[in-house]
Amino acid sequence: MRPNSRLSKLSFYLTVLLGGFLVLLTLKSYTSKLNGPDVPSCRPVWMYPSYIKIHSFDQSHTKYASKYSIYLYREQGRDKLPPEGNGDNDDDVVGMELEGVPVLFIPGNAGNHRQARSIAARTSELYDELRDVNGYKTKLDFFTIDFNEDFTAFHGRTILDQAEYANEAVKFILDLYSTRSNPPKSVIVIGHSMGGIVARIMMTLPDYLPGSVEDILTLSSPHSTSPLTFDGDLSTIYSAVDKFWYCGFTNCSTTTGTAKLNQLSSVAHERLQNVALISITGGALDSTLPADYTTLGYLVPKSNGFTAFTTGIPQVWTPIDHLAIVWCQQLRTRIALALLELTSLRGTVTLQDRMRVYEQYFLTGFEDYAMENKQVAIVSEEDVFGKDADDGNTVMKLEPGRIYNEKMLRSVNVFKLNKDKDVQFTLLSKIPLQIIGNKKSKLSVGLYNETGDGGIRDVSSLQATIPNFGENVTDISDSSYDGPTSPMYSLVLNTTILKPYSHIVITQSKNERHELYCQLSTNPSCLTLESRGGILSELRLFTTGQDISWLINCVMMTNLKIPQAWSSLYVYKLQFKIVFSSSLEKERFHMFIRQWTDDPFESKWFINVGEDGNYELQLTMHGIAPFVPYKIQSDYGMNLQIWQGNEPVRTREMNSKYININVTIDIIASLKLLILRYRITIVGINIAIISMVMMLQFGQFGSTSKYPSFGQTLIYLNAKYWWVIMTMLVILNYVINIPSVNKLLHYIDPVVLTDYNKFVINEEESGFKSNELFLGLSQGFTIIGVLLYLCCNFIIWLTCVALMLVGTMLNFVMLKLYPTRLKIGSKRVQSVLFNLQVCLMACIVLLIPWYLPYQIVYLIGCVYQVINVLKYWPGRIRSKDPSDEGVDDTTAAETAVFNYQVSWLILMLWLLPINIPILIVFIHNLQINWTTPFSSHHNLLSILPILLMTYYNSNVKMEKRSTRKGRNMGDGGDELPHLSTKVIKLIQLMLGYIVYYSLIYGSRHTFYLHHLFNLLCCLVWIVFYSHESAATTGEKGERR
């Protein structure tokens, strides 16, 4: 099978070159230098750890005690050690008096219990340093679980084992405190990566003790979707847990009448109503897990939890990679302070009280959601103004629109608000705001009504901590924890907050002044980058970009909304062009920018923008992402909060500073974001391409009895059908986003049909949408499918070339260097080897139902198929005498068999990654001497057809030739059975369904591709074996 012309063949090489070029560009984008807020700046940490193993938590408490264990962490020199213990031995802690609040650390995939040491050590340090200052009265006792570095992201049964063990560990830990006068009733849980999912699973299990876990803090945990889809059990568990948590906060029982769901909803609501779940993610630097997967989305309402990005957490302000998130100095300090604050709450502590602490420590303070829950103190006007409140010498009346600094203000200053206009009050200061009316307060702000109750509302609780933007500051991390400079503070009050009041009062110390800037703006401070033209507007983002210009020197803080920037798949490039005028005063401070989105709560800071003449920024965000549920009505557009300190001179010429912003998409930088989110999709597309090639091969075989090579057929596929494939990939995304089609495809998915626990979001009831089909995209037009196809096409071609090179070298070694050692001439030896082979296969098959997972057998099948390819390698079985009659026919038949074996091997090799994770789990369990039940992985029918097919491939029968010599000698070339047109069509139909499933469902249900391949093997084996039996019967009849 060859292309008809050189021009057609050229199209294949163009697609391969384009694919290779894209792969190289992607590698370049991975190695490119990060900039701005995406540059990591975690500081190193020190601690003096000791781990005390709790021996008494044995098999009398849980059957998993022989596999897992639990430790108590003690910081040497700060924490009390058990009697006669030095922290380095295995003393028990049952007899030890524990005085703190219990915290349980759960490690993630292949994680270690020692990862708890960083946060635990910092908590002990801060408790000793700040207990007299902040009044901390309760320490924290950190317990940590040793899961023997289990691979929880690979295997569903393993993650269930861990959750069951953790539940029993929580009960045991609470029992250790039972002798105290006021023992704790719950344990604070900190989970890293998959450890956070273990924490969520704990609350769904029968052995969960109600109320034993009320606070869950997760670090880089994939809540919204499973990071790997190679195990069907893990997918089922994820779906069941999502359903439980969703029904815990949503009244599922009113929408469905099934008793089972009513009971589930009741139990879930009872267990989760008082639970706070906080998800912390490191943002764009996490290359192990896309940060989109850590969002809580539809699972948890804002009253019970939220997702926080470390780039926006005050005094952290750095992205953190997947492993560093457990030890980063800035983040561990913030977590430790939050935990100490949480345990210092007095009286009856409600969910709202705990959430208020989390909002204070993990949100920026700019969020409207966070401001709603802030408590505002009220003081009398006399405490602020004194008795001479109307004395003009005491109170300074400020002019709206002007930027004031500390030197221009008096001790008491007042802005009068015009309720008929939209206004915004903005303040920046070097010191935090303090309670107004207190004589010791150095700086404070309050709101009051001239005709009101005489009380002034203190708004110090509404302030936000921001990075220092001073002249000597070179990086955001300079003002984070343990940095050389202190942070700054800001207060932004919009029209909604100011509307009920008539005045703003600002007080500062008479004797001590600190740097500050404030302004009451009556000019528009919110702008939107308009988009027109639909698809054409989106295309402009990829080419010339979109622009907006405005006068910025009249407003201290301007918010620019970019509704076109909502996707997590792109890197957006912002180019600034600033036009100055001669009527410009000296700049009070350099421009700085906060990039933010409201859902999820993500913020990034850019300081000293344009100071070095560089007015170009690269922006990454986490908005709508593939396969992640998102709220339908939410606005996911990116926002830029632009701060500047210029003010025009009061002359006739007021237009002193214009800014022009151009927004484009950086295509090259975006490639690494595509690969990060479509790593598993690539496996599915590769299998789809291989299946399409095999469809053409079987079609050619059915019409000509010649099985073409994989490489030639790949060339033919891309030469003749490249435009069809790429057009279909573009149209497919349109079709999938049609609501009725999307819903139909969801419900005809075999995984959904066979799995009761499979949770499909109801858009009308939940208000959320999730697209798990194809590329998981919500927009209609996209070329991402084409880009992935080009990359995968190159990878498949590279696989074929590599296979040929390796095979040639191995064939050379076997035939040229050791021609006699590998040749078995004795019929008796061949018979013994055959019997040994059958016995080995039988033993393996018998071990599958109760010990071996079928993935082990699949690996053996791959090795077997490699041997089959080498066995039928051209030249190994070819006739050595060119004068033999029928040698051309024999060579052609042998080539067909070889091509068939190679195609089968390539398909099996690309299905191998789906089975490898279970192999890793099995080998790991062997190392720790643990026999975990693999449930569905012991299904003999899931591997038997594959095993039979590879065995058949190694024993392709020899057909007799019509030549006289062939008849006399009973010899001829190996040849595939001749199949009827209907049988060929049936095989092509099965391969076509694999193509369909790989593209539509392969990204999220990758594990099911193995079962489809198993079904294909069953079909081909039955067809080949039945034809062979018929041919043998006919041959015996002819002899008679």
Q: Which residues are identified as catalytic?
A: 193
Q: Classify residue 352 by burial, with Cβ atoms within 10 Å: 0-12, 13-18, 19+.
A: exposed
Q: Closest Cα to residue 868, out of 847, 838, 898, 823?
A: 898
Give 783's Cβ-side CA count (13 Å radius): 9
User: What is the spatial distance between Cα 600 and Cα 625, in angstroms, rounded to a whole number?
Assistant: 12
| CA angle, 357 then 518 then 431, to 5° | 45
Give counts: helices (H), strands (E), the chain: 27, 30
Q: Classify residue 153 by burial, with Cβ atoms within 10 Å: 0-12, 13-18, 19+.
A: buried
User: What is the spatial distance between Cα 433 and Cα 756, in angstroms, rounded to a whole number?
Assistant: 55
Tokens standing for 175? Answer: 């029992």
- Is the CB of residue 932 less than 8 Å from the CB of residue 158? yes
User: What is the spatial distance between Cα 813 and Cα 960, in angstroms, rounded to a whole number?
Assistant: 31
What sign does the dihedral 330-332-335-340 (CA atoms) show?
Answer: negative
User: What is the spatial distance between Cα 191 and Cα 202, in angstroms, rounded to a whole number?
Assistant: 12
User: What is the spatial distance between Cα 553 and Cα 587, in angstroms, rounded to a whole number?
Assistant: 10
- Is the CB of residue 688 less than 8 Å from the CB of residue 995? yes
Cis amide bond preceding 600, omega within 30 = yes
Tokens standing for 707? Answer: 């099985």
Rg (CA), the chain: 34
Q: Which residues pair with 104 in a beta bridge?
A: 143, 189
- Is the CB of residue 865 less than 8 Å from the CB of residue 953? yes
Axis-axis angle for helices 710-736, 679-704 (nearest 10): 120
- Is the CB of residue 62 less than 8 Å from the CB of residue 54? no
| String of DSSP letters for 578-589 | EEE-TTBPPPSS
* Number of residues written out for the chain: 1040
User: What is the spatial distance between Cα 688 and Cα 1019, in angstroms, rounded to a whole number?
Assistant: 18
Q: Which residues pair with 512 in a beta bridge?
A: none
Other CB atoms within a 10 A radius of the CB of residue 124 amount to 23
User: What is the spatial distance between Cα 310 and Cα 313, in angstroms, rounded to a whole number?
Assistant: 5
Residue appearing with tokens 């009960």: 171
Pure H helices in 848-882: 854-871
Q: Is 493 helix (H, G, I), strand (E, B) or coil?
A: strand
User: What is the spatial distance between Cα 282 and Cα 285, in angstroms, rounded to a whole number?
Assistant: 6
Quote the DSSP letter at residue 257.
-
Q: Is 531 left (phi over 0), alpha (psi -120 to 50) or beta?
A: beta
Strands 276-281 and 378-380: unpaired
Q: Which residues pair with 464 in a beta bridge?
A: 490
- Is the CB of residue 576 less than 8 Å from the CB of residue 610? yes
Other CB atoms within a 10 A radius of the CB of residue 892 amount to 15
